[in-house]
């Protein structure tokens, strides 16, 4: 992914026109509308399947929290979900993971299920089974398909299945996983599902098995604006997710640099840059949450990986780990001024539509450099935290 992978042609055209007319304020206004639209993106994810398949535990894991968290979905050996219940993401409240009642129970029969749970409000469905996908699962999938919605099959509790298989003398982990996968696929095909894909997942070891593949599939098949917010909300449990978050956030830096020096136009005492510090503070906080460096996320990761949280914090080096405030941002801008000049030269020489903006001074370059540096620092910290957490898994 590069700087332009998520820029729509219509958006570039509008910003180009504003900059060619020497109107930084107009360009900033259009970019501000873009960010406001991202703030209001809603994503409704339906988690369904038969009673006892581990739906509620998956709901909690998908949101990056444990079953004992205050905001967690209740779990148990019997059906605990009696009506569709939304669970907002702790950092992205517009993302709601819905825990749906178990399909095939007396109160929720397969042929009436979709209407009972108000199927139209969900962006996609994840159908979970802990052993085999039964007739009710297939009926549900066919019904979802007829309604022109996407669905994904997840075989849960893979850790339990591997432990049971491990008692055999001729146990082979990879062969066992493939055997489970093919068994699920064959069962679905026998019930009329064409070319099914099954993701093998353990909600207690989400970083293992097929969760990264499921995440990547969801990201590729959602509309671009929803894909972006989904990616940022995912628990930072794999190096692949960490890297894609870094790329997605980096793709927005040029917009933020334009916006921060084109909205408020308030000079900072002692600096030759003109920026909106509030915008930068907000974005740096977004980086912090997306990379799971806040206290709650670190505590959840430490518990999941059975590591002391203090051990994870040892590898965090960015000064932003202690505080993100207006004073901190102004100090960082002061240090970034010199490097900002080089950034201005780069953008003006290689990206023609930004030439007129860059000519106004070094505000854009300074802000761009500072955001890029902070993003790299926090992404590296998150990478190191994850590597430390995974040490026992190697």
34 token code pair: 């873009």
What is the model's pLDDT at position 9? 47
90 token code pair: 């702790």
Annotated domain spans of the chain: 9-39+236-393, 43-232
Q: Any idea how long the chain is?
A: 394
Distance in angstroms (rounded) separating the CA atoms of residues 48 and 352: 50
Task: Return the H-helix or E-strand segment holding 89.
Answer: none
- 359 exposure class (CB count in 10 Å sphere: 0-12, 13-18, 19+): exposed
Q: Going by C-beta distance under 8 Å and a sequence separation of 6 or more, which residues neighbour residue 6?
A: 224, 228, 248, 251, 252
Residues of the chain falling short of pLDDT 70: 1-28, 76-81, 104-111, 261-274, 337-362, 392-394
Task: Specify the CATH superfamily of domain 43-232.
Answer: P-loop containing nucleotide triphosphate hydrolases (3.40.50.300)
352 token code pair: 């023609």
Distance in angstroms (rounded) separating the CA atoms of residues 37 and 368: 22
Q: Render pLDDT for 189-246 as a digit per residue (tens, 0 to 9).
A: 988 888 899 999 999 988 889 998 999 999 899 988 899 899 999 988 888 899 999 9
Q: Render pLDDT for 36-69 as a digit per residue (tens, 0 to 9).
A: 778 889 999 999 988 888 899 999 999 988 888 8
| Backbone φ and ψ of 57, nearest 5° | -65, -40
What is the model's pLDDT at position 344? 53
- The number of angstroms, rounded, from the C-alpha of 250 to the middle of its chain's C-alpha atoms is 14
The total of other beta-carbon atoms located within 10 Å of residue 204's CB is 16
Instruction: Tell me the residue ranges of DSSP E strands in the chain.
Output: 43-49, 85-88, 95-99, 124-129, 150-155, 198-200
CA 376, 379, 385, 389 dihedral sign is negative
What is the model's pLDDT at position 5? 38
What is the model's pLDDT at position 154? 96
- Cβ atoms of 51 and 113 within 8 Å: the answer is no
What is the model's pLDDT at position 249? 93
């Amino acid at each position: 992914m590069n700087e332009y992978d998520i820029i729509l042609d219509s958006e570039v055209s509008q910003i180009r026109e504003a900059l060619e007319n020497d109107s930084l304020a107009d360009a900033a206004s259009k970019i501000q509308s873009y960010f406001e639209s991202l703030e209001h993106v809603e994503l409704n994810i339906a988690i369904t399947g038969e009673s006892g398949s581990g739906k509620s535990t998956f709901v909690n894991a998908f949101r990056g929290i444990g079953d004992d968290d205050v905001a967690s979905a209740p779990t148990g050996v019997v059906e605990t979900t009696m009506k569709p219940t939304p669970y907002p993401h702790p950092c992205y409240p517009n993302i709601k993971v819905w825990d749906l009642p178990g399909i095939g129970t007396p109160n929720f029969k397969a042929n009436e299920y979709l209407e009972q749970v108000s199927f139209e409000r969900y962006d996609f469905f994840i159908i979970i089974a802990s052993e085999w996908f039964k007739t009710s699962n297939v009926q549900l999938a066919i019904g979802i398909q007829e309604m022109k919605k996407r669905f994904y099959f997840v075989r849960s509790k893979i850790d339990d299945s591997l432990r049971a298989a491990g008692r055999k003398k001729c146990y082979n982990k990879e062969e066992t996983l493939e055997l489970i996968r093919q068994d699920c696929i064959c069962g679905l095909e026998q019930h009329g599902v064409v070319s099914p894909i099954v993701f093998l997942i353990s909600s207690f070891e989400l970083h293992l098995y097929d969760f990264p593949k499921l995440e990547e599939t969801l990201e590729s098949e959602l509309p671009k604006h929803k894909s972006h917010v989904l990616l940022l909300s995912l628990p930072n449990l794999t190096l692949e997710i960490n890297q894609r978050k870094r790329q997605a956030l980096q793709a927005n830096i040029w917009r933020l640099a334009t916006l921060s020096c084109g909205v408020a136009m308030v000079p900072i005492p002692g600096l030759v840059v003109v920026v909106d510090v509030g915008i930068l503070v907000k974005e740096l906080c977004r980086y912090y949450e997306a990379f799971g460096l806040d206290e709650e996320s670190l505590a959840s990761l430490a518990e999941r990986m059975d590591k002391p949280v203090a051990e994870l914090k040892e590898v965090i080096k960015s000064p932003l780990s202690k505080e993100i405030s207006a004073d901190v941002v102004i100090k960082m801008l002061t240090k970034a001024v010199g490097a900002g000049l080089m950034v201005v030269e780069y953008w003006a020489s290689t990206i023609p539509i930004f030439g007129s903006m860059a000519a106004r001074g070094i505000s854009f370059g300074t802000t761009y450099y500072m955001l890029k540096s902070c993003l790299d620092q926090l992404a590296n910290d998150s990478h190191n935290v994850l590597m430390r957490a995974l040490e026992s898994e190697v």
